[in-house]
Amino acid sequence: MMEKTLKQEIHTELTDHIIPFWDALRDEEHGGFYGRVNHDLTIDHHADKGGVLHSRILWFFSEAGRVLQDEQCLMNARHAFRFLKEHLLDGEYGGVMWTTDYRGEPADASKHAYCQAFAIYGLSAWYRVSGEQDALTTAMRLFELLETRMRDPEGYGEAFERDFSPQVNDKLSENGVLADRTMNTLLHVIEAYTELLRVSGDDRVRTKLTEAVRIMMDRVFDPAKGRLEVFFDKDYHSLIDLYSYGHDIEAAWLLDRAAEVLGDPVLTEKVHVMTAVLEDHVLREGFDGEALTAECEEGRVLADRIWWVQAEAVNGFLHAWKKRPERTDFLDAARREWQYIREHVIDRRPDSEWLEQLDKAGRPDGSKPMAGLWKCPYHNGRMCLEFLLFPFETGR
């Protein structure tokens, strides 16, 4: 009964709050969606438009349209697809550019593996719901580009100039380091290839997805610490003592899903052993009884609550309980996390969405946007969709 009530709450949050906010950001004059909404809810009509943001919007409206059977969501997905194809795809060099200006002209034409992965993710979702062959063809071209221009024998590179010459990876490096490889990019390549394999059945995608999962297990996962390392040099030497709780709980359920789609029982068992460790450690070390803290660097905990971390905690804790139904502490953590989101993260101002970041006392950071190059409907929208589809009866 409690889960039925929660599903009703989350369905309302999705349909009455998140979807209308992003629907209102359609740019009918220049295409795509406006690139920024400030904390005071004013729209910056001249903000740059991001490749990652538009790929995530494409994914969100495609999946929301599919799950909810909602025509307006599908119209928004088509609108995002058109902007991606006509403005963000580089007709000269290939690949998806980092940003355009508000009119759709190239702004930052550099290429990042992370950005290509999200484009594949969004295009796969659009093909799944629309059946448009052009979406799948474009996704496969980006897959080939990732594998031929952005990968070396040991794994994936990160940042490249427009012509695919190497670039310093400042876009996906944080915490005072510049990384040659990141866990984050590899995770979202896995995520993208999982959905591309689901819709294409392509054997080469299957092979490369399997390889990427094995890199995560063999080079990124630290069994002694029970976590995924975050930033690396080219030889996978970790550059910083950093525990990213949000990424670990997100990775746990995304890696399980990759194994599920691959359908290899031996690999699945190995993945489940690793993801169980990640789940246990995040619950024990990162969850404080009401919310998931941001990260721990060099033993110093950043206790801020970040919107995407909270959303992925709900996803990850629910999927952990599905695997191990005797572990009702995971179900309880998911319920507590949603309660925290409902009471603190959801912004109750009219026509708003979720707050990006709060301190431990629940005070929002007014410098953070409500929508931007990174602030998107992907994490919280996906949490809602995953919750609505979650088979609670299988957890008992």
Our separate counts of H helices and E strands in the chain read 13, 16
Is the predicted pLDDT of residue 95 greater than 60, yes or no?
Answer: yes
The pLDDT value recorded for residue 393 is 77
DSSP symbols for 6-71 = HHHHHHHHIIIIIHHHHHTTB-TTTSSB-S-B-TTS-B-TTS-EEHHHHHHHHHHHHHHHHHHT-H
What whole-number distance in Å separates Cα of residue 93 and Cα of residue 72?
34
C-beta of residue 32 within 8 angstroms of C-beta of residue 48: no
pTM value surpassing 0.95: yes
C-beta of residue 17 within 8 angstroms of C-beta of residue 384: no
Confidence tier at 3 by pLDDT (50, 70, 90): confident
Residue 128, CA distances (Å) to 67, 121, 199 in order = 11, 11, 6
C-beta of residue 231 within 8 angstroms of C-beta of residue 177: yes
The pLDDT value recorded for residue 305 is 97
Per-residue pLDDT tens for 328-370? 999 999 999 999 999 999 999 999 999 999 999 999 999 999 9
User: Which residue has 């789940």 as its token pair?
Assistant: 279
What whole-number distance in Å separates Cα of residue 84 and Cα of residue 96?
8
Residue closest to 107 by CA, chosen among 143, 54, 177, 43: 54
The pLDDT value recorded for residue 395 is 57
Per-residue pLDDT tens for 209-232? 999 999 999 999 999 999 999 999
Average pLDDT in the chain: 97
Per-residue pLDDT tens for 29-44? 999 999 999 999 999 9
Give me the number of domains the chain comprises: 1
Strands 159-160 and 111-112: antiparallel
Per-residue pLDDT tens for 134-144? 999 999 999 99
C-beta of residue 65 within 8 angstroms of C-beta of residue 130: no
The pLDDT value recorded for residue 4 is 80
The pLDDT value recorded for residue 357 is 98
Is the predicted pLDDT of residue 1 greater than 80, yes or no?
Answer: no
pLDDT more than 90, % of the chain? 96
What whole-number distance in Å separates Cα of residue 38 and Cα of residue 308?
18
What whole-number distance in Å separates Cα of residue 84 and Cα of residue 157?
23
Q: What's the mean pLDDT in 277-291?
A: 97
The pLDDT value recorded for residue 80 is 98
| Structural domain span for residue 320 | 2-395
Q: What's the mean pLDDT in 3-25?
A: 95
Q: E strands along 117-185, which residues?
A: 151-152, 155-156, 159-160, 181-182
Confidence tier at 396 by pLDDT (50, 70, 90): low
CATH number, domain with residue 316: 1.50.10.10
Q: What's the mean pLDDT in 239-266?
A: 98
Q: What's the mean pLDDT in 65-90?
A: 98
The pLDDT value recorded for residue 279 is 98
The pLDDT value recorded for residue 295 is 97
Confidence tier at 394 by pLDDT (50, 70, 90): low
Phi and psi of 358, rounded to 5°?
-130, 155
Q: What's the mean pLDDT in 265-284?
A: 98
Confidence tier at 76 by pLDDT (50, 70, 90): very high
